[in-house]
Chain A
Amino acid sequence: MNPTTAVTATSRVQTLDWSAALKDAGLAGLVALLLTLPLVGLRTIEVQSRLTVEPHLAEVALTALLVFLGRLGLTLAAAGLARPVLAAATLALAAGWVLPFPTEALRVLMVIGALVVALRALWALHRRHDRLSQQERDRRMDHLGARFQDATRLIGPAAVMLAVALPFLPFADRATLDLGILLLTYIMLGWGLNIVVGLAGLLDLGYVAFYAVGAYSYALLAQTFGFSFWLCLPLAGLLASFAGVMLGFPVLRLRGDYFAIVTLGFGEIVRIILLNWANFTGGPNGIAGIPRPSFFGIADFTAAPEPGRLAFHQLFGLQYTPLHRIIFLYYLILALALLVNLFTLRIRRLPLGRAWEALREDDIACTALGINRTTIKLAAFAIAAMFGGIAGSFFATRQGFISPESFSFIESAIILAIVVLGGMGSQIGVVIATLLVIGLPEVFRDLAQYRMLTFGAGMVLIMLWRPRGLLAHREPTLLLHPRQSAFRRQAEAGGRP
Chain B
Amino acid sequence: MDRAAGDPMLTMTGVHTFYGAIEALKGIDLTVATGEIVTLIGANGAGKSTLLMTLCGAPQARYGRIVFEGEDITRLPTCQIVRRGIAQSPEGRRIFPRMTVLENLQLGAITAPASYAEELERVFLLFPRLKERSAQRGGTLSGGEQQMLAIGRALMSRPRLLLLDEPSLGLAPLVIRQIFQVIRDINRDHGMTVFMVEQNAHRALRLAHRAYVMVNGLITLTGTGAGLLANPEVRAAYLEGGH
Fill in one digit per residue for B71-90: 1 if any A CB lies within 8 Å of its CB, else 0. Answer: 00000011111110001111
| Contacts known (A355-B107, A364-B94, A370-B83); A476 close to B100, Cβ less than 8 A | yes
- Contacting residues, chain B, for A371 (C-beta < 8 A): 79, 107, 110-111
Question: Which B107-138 residues have a C-beta within 8 angstroms of A?
Answer: 107-108, 110-111, 131, 133-137
Task: With a 10 A CB-CB cut-off, give which of B81, B87, B100, B135 has the most chain A CB atoms.
Answer: B135
Closest Cβ neighbor of A372 among chain B residues: B79
A361 touches B98 (CB 8 A): yes
Tell me whether B107 and A354 are in contact (CB under 8 A).
Answer: yes
Q: In the complex the two chains form, is B88's CB within 8 Å of A368's CB?
A: yes
Decide: A478 near B77, CB < 8 A? Known: A369-B107, A493-B137: no
B37 at the interface (CB under 8 A from A): no
* B227 proximal to A (CB < 8 A): no
Q: A454-497 CB contact bits vs B (8 Å, 1 = yes)?
A: 00000000000000000000101111110010000100111010
Q: Scoring A residues 19 to 42 as 1 if CB is less than 8 Å from chain B, else 0, what string do you get?
A: 000000000000000000000000
Q: A354–B153 contact, CB under 8 A? A: no
B100 and A478 contact, CB distance less than 8 A: yes
Main SS of chain B's interface residues? mixed
Give the contacting residue for B82; candidates A369, A481, A496; CB below 8 A.
Answer: A369
* Cβ-neighbour of B81 out of A365, A370, A492 (below 8 A): A370
Q: Are A476 and B135 in contact (CB under 8 A)?
A: yes
**Residue pair B90, A364 in contact (C-beta under 8 Å):** yes
* B48: min CB distance to chain A, Å: 15
Most buried by A among B90, B95, B96: B96
A369-B99 in contact (CB<8A) = no
**Within the assembled complex, what's the spacing in Å between the Cα atoms of A489 and B87?**
31
- Residue A100, interface by CB 8 Å: no
Closest Cβ of chain B: how far from A471's Cβ, in Å? 13
Residues A361 and B106 in contact, CB atoms below 8 Å apart: no
Residues of chain A contacted by B153 (CB below 8 angstroms): 369
Contact at A361–B110, with CB atoms within 8 Å? no
Kindly identify which residue among A354, A474, A478, A481 contacts B110, using a CB–CB cutoff of 8 Å: A354
The answer to whether B96 touches A361, judged by C-beta atoms less than 8 angstroms apart, is yes
A369 touches B157 (CB 8 A): yes
**Neighbouring B residues of A484 by C-beta, 8 Å:** 135
A308 within 8 A of B: no
Instruction: For chain A, give the interface size range.
Output: 20 to 34
Residue in B53, B90, B100 with the greatest tally of chain A CB atoms within 10 Å: B100
Nearest CB of chain A from residue B199's CB, rounded to whole Å? 19
Name A476's contact: one of B53, B77, B103 (CB within 8 Å). Answer: B103
Chain B's nearest CB lies how many Å from the CB of A467? Answer: 15
Shortest Cβ distance from B111 into A: residue: A370
Q: Complex: how many Å from CA A402 to CA B64? A: 58
Chain A residues whose CB sits within 8 angstroms of the CB of B111 once the complex forms: 369-371
B45 interface contact, C-beta 8 A = no
A492 and B58 in contact, given A369-B157, A476-B100 (Cβ under 8 angstroms): no
Whether, in the assembled complex, A300 has its beta carbon less than 8 Å from a beta carbon of chain B, the answer is no
The residue on B at minimum CB distance from A361 is B96
Q: How far is B58's CA from A371's CA once the two chains are assembled, in angstroms?
A: 12
- CB–CB A496/B140 < 8 A: yes
A368 to B106: give the CA distance in the assembly, Å.
Answer: 14
Residue of A nearest to B134 (CB): A480
A358 within 8 A of B: yes
How long is the Cα–Cα vector from A355 to B107 in the complex, in angstroms? 7
Q: In the complex, A477 Cα to B102 Cα: how many Å?
A: 10
Q: List 5 A-B contacts (CB under 8 A).
A: A361-B96, A369-B87, A370-B80, A484-B135, A493-B136
In the A-B complex, list the 4 residue pairs whose CB atoms are closest, starting with the nearest: A370-B82, A365-B94, A361-B96, A493-B136
Known: A358-B99, A478-B102, A481-B135. 19 other contacts (CB 8 A): A354-B110, A357-B99, A361-B96, A364-B90, A368-B53, A369-B87, A369-B110, A369-B111, A370-B81, A370-B111, A370-B157, A371-B111, A372-B79, A474-B99, A479-B135, A480-B131, A480-B134, A480-B135, A493-B133
